[in-house]
Amino acid sequence: MKVQKMIKVDTNIKKNVIYSVRPYNYLDFQLWNSFVANAKNATFLFHRDFMEYHKDRFEDFSLMVYKNNKLCAILPANKVGARVFSHQGLTYGGFVLPENIKFEVVLQVFKAVLEYLNNYGITTLSLKQLPFIYNTLPSSEVDYLMFILNANLVRRDTLSVIDLNKRLKISSNRLEGVKRGKKHDLCIKEETTFDLFWNTILIKNLEQKHGVTPVHSLNEIKSLREKFPNNIRQFNVYCNKEIVAGTTVFESKNVAHSQYISGNERNNELGSLDFLHVHLIDQIFKNKSYFDFGTSNDNNGLQINKGLQFWKEGFGARTVTQDFYEVETKSYKLLEDVMV
């Protein structure tokens, strides 16, 4: 692995504070993961064991930022030509920050990163923000700095999210599905393997309905489950011992997120997905802060699948947005006079 030199940027000479930026390399494995574990806006997706399951598909360009000699921020990222992306292999990203960081430090971190990238020959930084529900503390510093930098908002997705501390009533449509599930004596089981759901339900449905394959292959999700057994969970629904539906849940500190949701052709008849998700929301994940059904967007965020949105909102889910920004690295000078 080619390791680029660290670039130091004097951002506050009077206080003798120096911010330094350098790329991640494999020797930083433990340091990176320890930082993620204690950050205010990170989940297990930022752990290097998760990020690197598809390292053959991306040119990693993750960055580490130091205030003097102390690590104060990281940026999971990859490089394509003269552009650096908040890692394209992850659902969300952006700057990962510690709990005790203050606004001015975030400002200097962002400035240092943009200047580093500009000096490196990178013209554009694309950031895919972490939805606020995944934060453990307020963390909107970068959103404000995007305004100062005249960043372009190039995409905005909608997530359907249930606030589990302030539940809305489940719609009659979804409750009717639960009744059908009980009538057909459906059984929900948490499984330790993914083969049955992937091979019998998920792959077939994604191919027939959307002409795509799962983001994670069966071997990849198995490998990730081995590394993160407490975060990646599989729930299957059975009717007379035959699998009829399932969901793969990514569980973080505040949020349970249905990463994959799929049922067979009998879903409407059996109410299997309604039956499953009411159970998950009411029982399995009732102590979380949020249940995230994910996005229903198509066409780069410009359209929403009406039927899918209707189904999710029937459980009491409401809209949270996720923003995607592009910022020119040469604009780092705009951050010089923010603090007065």
CA distance 54 to 71: 26
What single DSSP character describes residue 211?
A: S
**CB distance 158 to 321 below 8 Å:** yes
Do 7-156+323-335 and 166-288 share a fold? yes
CB 125 within 8 A of CB 117: yes
Give the pairing of strands 255-263 and 290-295: parallel
For residue 75, what are the β-bridge partners?
Answer: 63
Give the pLDDT confidence score for residue 113 in this predicted structure.
98
CB 244 within 8 A of CB 236: no
CB contact set of 291 (below 8 Å; sequence gap of 6+): 161, 162, 164, 255, 256, 257, 258, 280, 281, 285, 315, 317
Q: At the top level of CATH, which class does the domain 7-156+323-335 belong to?
A: alpha beta
Please report the pLDDT score of residue 209 as a whole number.
84
Q: Whole-model pTM?
A: 0.93
Q: Which residues of the chain have pLDDT under 70?
A: 1-15
Q: Which two tokens stand for residue 12?
A: 């506050």
Residue-range domain boundaries for the chain: 7-156+323-335, 166-288
pLDDT score, position 61: 98
Token pair, residue 325, equals 């920004």
**Three-state DSSP class for 20?**
strand
Domain spanning 166-288: CATH 3.40.630.30: yes
Task: Give the pLDDT confidence score for residue 94 in this predicted structure.
Answer: 96
Contact, 105 vs 317, CB < 8 A? no
User: Rounded to an integer, what distance in angstroms lies between the CA atom of residue 275 and that of residue 267?
Assistant: 10
pLDDT of residue 24: 98
Tens digits of residue pLDDT in 200-235: 999 999 998 888 999 999 999 999 999 999 999 999
Percent of the chain beyond pLDDT 70? 96
Compute the distance between CA of residue 323 and CA of residue 196 in angstroms, rounded to an integer: 35
Tokens standing for residue 58: 């991306």
Contact predicate 72/106, CB 8 Å: no
Round to whole Å and give the CA distance between 96 and 127.
Answer: 12
pLDDT value at position 10?
52
**How far is residue 112's CA from residue 102's CA, in Å, rounded to a whole number?**
16
* Residue 185 token pair: 């004596």
Q: Please state, in angstroms and rounded to a whole number, the distance separating the CA atoms of residues 107 and 125.
A: 16
Give dist(CA 279, CA 267) in Å, integer.
16
Q: Give residue for tokens 């603090």.
A: 339
DSSP string over 191-207: ES--HHIIIIIIHHHHH
H/E segment holding residue 35: helix 29-37
Cβ(159)–Cβ(292) below 8 Å:
yes
pLDDT at 16 (0 to 100):
85
Q: What is the DSSP letter of 301?
A: G
